[in-house]
Amino acid sequence: MSSSSTTKPSPKLPLKIRLMIAAHSFSVDAFSRSDSTAVNRPLIKLFDPRASPSRKPDNGVVSSDIMVDNARNLWFRQYTNNGSQVGGLPIPVIVYFHGGGFAYMAANSIAYDDLCKRLVREIPAVVVSVNYRLSPEHRYPSQYEDGFDVLKFIDNPDFKGFPPSVNTNSNRIQLFVAGDSAGGNLAHHVALKACQYQFSRLNLLGVIALQPFFGGEERTESEIRLVEAPLISVKRTDWMWKAFLPQDSNRDHQVVNVFGPNAVDISDLPFPPTLVFISGFDPLQDWQRKYVEGLNKSGKQVHKIEYPNTFHGFYAFPELSESSLLLADIKSFVQNQLQLANK
C-alpha cells in the first residue's frame, strides 16, 4: 500500500485515543529538560502506569520477571501460554524491545504488557520483553549492550525458563528479535551483532521492526509534512537523538542513519529476513523506507507492510482494526520463517 498524501498530522481518531495520546505527549514535554540532559522519572511515571506480572493466567498467558544483572537493573518479563504448536512447528521465542525514544516507557508499562500478551496468544510464541537502560542517564551503546546481553543470558543452557515446546525435535531455540520505534532500531542493531556471534542454542530467524526509529541530518519529505504529528513530532525526535547519542555526535551517526554516510556495510553478513511496518501518518516513514531500500541493496530479504491510515504507535490500541492486522501479519511472517527453518 502507498502512504497517505494528506497534510493533516493524524487520522481521525476516537476521543479516548486522542486523550491518551495528548496525556502521553504532555508528560514527555513537561517532564523532560529542553537541553536533553534529564527526565523527571517520578513525575513521568504518573503518566506511564505499570503492570505486575500475571502469575495467574490472563486469557491463558502467564508472565514473570527475570533478573539478568542487578547492577544495571537489567531484567526481562517473560510471557508464556499453554497454546498448542502450529503444524508441529516449535514455539518460537520473540525477544521484544519496547519503544519510547530510548528515554521513556518500560517492559512493564501497561501498553507493552498488553501488547506482549496479544503477541503470545496470536502467534503463538514465548515473548521476552527487555527492560533496558534509558537515556539520557545511559547513552549509546548502553541499550544495545543490554539487549545483546539478554540474548546471551537466554542462550546459556543453564537458563531453564522456557517451556519444552520451545525446542521440540531440536536443541535449538528458534529466535526472532522485535521491537517498535526505538525498539525497532534496537532490534536491528542487536540482530546485527547476533548474526556475527556463535550462540550455543539460539537460531536467529528474523527481525520484526514496527515503525523503527531511524533518522539523519537531512529533513525528509514526511518529516516536513508531518512535523506536528502526534507522539513523535520532529521536535521530540530531535530531543530523543540528542539525549541518546554520545556528546558531539549528530544524526548521521551509524546507529541513527543506518544506511547513511557513516553506515556499516552488512552485505557480507548473514543478516536475517526482516519485516518492517510503516504508517502513513508517521513522520519517520521516509527513513523507514530508506531502511528497507538499504536492506534490499545489501542483498537482504526484507518484507515491507504499509498501513496508510495509521499513526506512530497505533498497535498499542487494540480497538483499531489495523492493530489486529499487524498481529496477523507478524504471525504469517513468523510461521513462514519457522517452516523454512524446519524443512
**Around Cβ 259, how many Cβ atoms within 10 Å?**
21
Those residues with Cβ within 8 angstroms of residue 105's Cβ, 6 or more apart along the chain or in another chain: 48, 98, 99, 111, 112
pLDDT band at 83; cut points 50, 70, 90:
low
Give the residue-averaged pLDDT of 312-339. Answer: 97
Residue 109 a catalytic site member: no
Residue 52 CB burial class (10 angstroms; 0-12, 13-18, ≥19): exposed
What is d(CA 272, CA 263) in angstroms, rounded to the nearest whole number?
18
For the chain, what is the mean pLDDT? 94
- List pLDDT tens digits, range 197-227: 999 999 999 999 999 999 999 999 999 999 8
Average pLDDT over residues 56-77: 96
Residue 3 has pLDDT above 70, yes or no: no
The answer to whether residue 11 scores a pLDDT higher than 80 is: yes
The residue written with cell numbers 491510515 in the block is 309
Confidence (pLDDT) at 237: 96
Looking at residue 296, what is its pLDDT?
Answer: 98
Q: Is the whole model's pTM more than 0.85, yes or no?
A: yes
Residue percentage of the chain with pLDDT more than 70:
96
- Name which of 152, 114, 108 is nearest 130 in CA terms: 108
Q: Is 265 a catalytic residue?
A: no
Active-site pick, 10, 181, 222, 279: 181
Whether 249 is a known active-site residue: answer no
Phi first, then psi: what are they for 76, rounded to 5°? -140, 155
Q: How confident is the model at residue 167 (pLDDT cuts 50, 70, 90)?
A: confident
Count of CB atoms within 10 A of residue 29's CB?
13
What letter would DSSP give residue 84? P
Options 24, 98, 189, 312, the catalytic residue:
312
pLDDT: is 133 or 231 the higher one? 133
User: To which residue does cell 539523519 refer?
Assistant: 216
Q: Please answer whether residues 278 and 290 qualify as being in contact, where contact means their C-beta atoms are separated by less than 8 angstroms.
A: no
Percent of the chain with pLDDT over 90: 89
Instruction: List, for residues 134-143, the tens digit of each pLDDT value.
Output: 999 999 999 9
- What would the grid cell of residue 183 be? 525498539
Q: pLDDT at position 1, please?
A: 38
pLDDT digits (tens, 9 = 90+) for 304-322: 999 999 999 999 999 999 9
Report the SS3 class of residue 230: coil
Question: Of 58, 146, 282, 286, which one is the catalytic site residue?
Answer: 282
pLDDT at 49 over 70: yes
Angstrom CA distances, 225 to 216, 229, 234, stand at: 16, 9, 10
